[in-house]
Amino acid sequence: MSSSPSSRLSGAPGEEAALRFLLRKGYRLVERNVRSRWGEIDLVCRKGSTLVFVEVKSRRSLSAGHPLEMLTPAKQARLRRATFLYMMRSEHPKASYRIDLVAIILDREGRVQEITHLENAVEGE
């Protein structure tokens, strides 16, 4: 697992907005852009004693569908595996965790119009 700080920041104003949003809600950032063979986890945060993995989806318009609809079954499966792997390798594999989705809608100039935070967006099987 490696974290590559710079390459993800550019072209991801949504991610920044999401992080600021979560921090204001009392979440603490643990890691960001965690890579694994199952894909990338956008944000790893902590709320209370629960580890919260956050998938951030942003869109400039609704024409391609609301960001909430972008969580395909395939994507969900990859997230499950990625987070499971993370937990197994962490110091507290048995801690409680969940996967949230933060959906961002930007306007044409790239300013944040709407943020939706969906807790427990992807459940276990």
Q: Which residues bind another protein (CB under 8 A)?
A: 50, 80, 83-84, 94-99, 120, 122-125
All residues at 6 or more sequence positions from 24 whose CB lies less than 8 Å from its CB, including other chains: none
Q: Which is nearer to another protein, 91 or 123 (CB)?
A: 123
Give φ, ψ of 47 to 5 degrees: -130, 110
Tell me the closest approach of the beta carbon of residue 10 to another protein, in angstroms.
Answer: 31
Query: Whose Cβ is closer to another protein: residue 10's or residue 49's?
Result: 49
Burial class (CB in 10 A: 0-12, 13-18, 19+), 53: buried
Q: How far is the CB of 48 from another protein (least distance, A)?
A: 11
Instruction: Return the number of the residue (21 or 97) whose C-beta is nearest another protein.
Output: 97
Q: How far apart are CB 81 and another protein at their closest, in Å?
A: 10
Q: Are 86 and 52 in contact (CB under 8 A)?
A: no
